[in-house]
Amino acid sequence: MNSQGILIVVSGFSGSGKGTIMKELLKKYDNYALSISATTRQPREGETDGREYFFKTREEFEKMIAKEELIEYAKYVNNYYGTPRAYVEEQLAAGRDVILEIEIQGALKVKERFPETLLLFVTPPSAEELRRRLIGRGTESMEVIEARLKRAAEEADGMESYDYFVVNDVLETCVEDVHRIIRAEHSKSCRNKAFAEQIKRELKGE
Ligand code: 5GP
């Protein structure tokens, strides 16, 4: 069957827990590669350059755009975020499933450019739970939390553009759900046309 990796976009409201799900997925299975984005936002406590993000100045980021080093980029609550191209292309060619953890504008741009991209949307069970998690995380000021909740309400309008919803209630279950969806995606007939052709030829004795 097809050995080419699948490009997977994971979006979800800020505070949906998508980052934790991805970390667990990568720990548990070894065929996934997580793309590290570039951003102009300030590092949060505990974040390291080159691990969570490549932290860039606005000028550096704009240079990356001009040199077409990004597959996509978007502005999110006053900062730039973008996906470096080279890593994604290398990993896909090596047969790994590459995960982009990006917001909706970027997700739709990727889908337009690469229509075979699998789009997953992670959501908490309810809006109340989202609010509780954002406040509980304690990494942002109330003002930023309000801005992110407002953005969540806007992003919810685009949820239907995604291929699958993943409700993040119990972490373990959620990780398995994501893994199963991706495994199933590999078996889709449209991703395995060469395999079908080969079997047909063999059956005809060619
Ligand atoms: P945070 O500041 O919480 O790390 O990220 C804010 C939002 O930006 C999240 O929804 C995250 O998924 C999104 N994001 C992170 N990297 C990228 C990227 O490379 N491109 C786009 N379009 N969004 C990104």
Which residues fall within 8 angstroms of residue 75, CB to CB, at 6 or more apart?
81
The verdict on the CB of residue 14 being under 6 Å from ligand 1 is yes
The verdict on the CB of residue 13 being under 6 Å from ligand 1 is no
How far is the centre of ligand 1, averaged over its atoms, from the C-alpha of 103 (Å)?
Answer: 5
Instruction: Please give the number of the atom of ligand 1 that sits closest to the Cα of 104.
Output: 22
User: What pLDDT does residue 139 have?
Assistant: 82
Instruction: Please give the number of the atom of ligand 1 that sits closest to the Cα of 38.
Output: 19
The verdict on the CB of residue 37 being under 6 Å from ligand 1 is yes
User: What pLDDT does residue 155 have?
Assistant: 87
The verdict on the CB of residue 91 being under 6 Å from ligand 1 is no
Integer Cα distance of 206 and 203 in angstroms: 8
User: Dihedral sign, CA of 75, 23, 190, 89?
Assistant: positive
How far is the centre of ligand 1, averaged over its atoms, from the C-alpha of 102 (Å)?
Answer: 5
User: Dihedral sign, CA of 108, 114, 115, 120?
Assistant: negative
Q: Using one digit for the tens of pLDDT, what is the confidence trace for 159-181? A: 999 999 999 999 999 999 999 99
> Are 162 and 11 a contacting pair, CB within 8 Å?
yes
Q: Using one digit for the tens of pLDDT, what is the confidence trace for 113-143? A: 999 999 999 999 999 999 898 888 888 888 9
The verdict on the CB of residue 121 being under 6 Å from ligand 1 is no
From first to last of its 206 residues, the chain has per-residue pLDDT tens of 767 899 999 999 888 899 999 999 999 999 999 999 999 999 999 999 999 999 999 999 999 999 999 999 999 989 999 999 999 999 999 999 999 999 999 999 999 999 999 999 999 999 999 989 888 888 888 898 899 899 899 989 999 999 999 999 999 999 999 999 999 999 999 999 999 999 999 999 98
